[in-house]
Amino acid sequence: MGWREHRYAPAPGTPLCRVDSIPIGECREKRYGDGEEALSLLLYRCPLGVQAYVNKCPHFSLPLNSRPETFFLLAREEIMCAWHCAIFRLQDGKCTAGPAKGLGLERVTVSTVDGQVILSAGDDCV
């Protein structure tokens, strides 16, 4: 099941945050729904814009963070899963080391309009 089929998935066109609310090289979490069934999105700001992923490690389908808004970032370019230390490149979501090597984070396509990060309708990268 892709994230768009998630019961709490926001509709295309939903504003997620302002680009400038995330410092370059940092991540923010955006949650939709309540409890363990909530959909958690990971937003990463790079110099060229914002990348978004489902905040779920492909190793055991757990969030990458064990505490709200607390992420283990490496050189502001990679993120380490809090549970078993898989490392993912934030530019493309690929796992480069650890128990999920070869797998990747599920991308969420977003675009930027007037400084606002918006959920895209399609699956193409913007």
- Which residues lie near ligand FES (CB under 6 A)? 57, 59-60, 62, 81, 83-84, 86, 98-100
**Shortest Cβ 95–ligand FES spacing (Å):** 8
Q: Would residue 82 be called left, alpha or beta, if left means φ above 0 and alpha means ψ between -120 and 50 degrees?
A: alpha
Q: How far is the CB of 62 from ligand FES (least distance, A)?
A: 4
Report the alpha-carbon distance of residue 60 to residue 52 in Å, rounded. Answer: 20
Closest approach of ligand FES to the CB of residue 75, in Å: 19
CB-nearer residue toward ligand FES: 85 or 113: 85
The residue among 3 and 72 lying less far from ligand FES, judged by its C-beta, is 72
User: Cβ(27)–Cβ(73) under 8 Å?
Assistant: yes
For residues 73 and 25, the answer to whether their CB atoms sit within 8 Å is yes
Name residue 107's amino acid.
R
81 vs 117, which CB is nearer to ligand FES?
A: 81
Residue 68 near residue 29 (C-beta atoms within 8 A) = yes
Nearest distance from residue 36's CB to ligand FES, in Å?
15
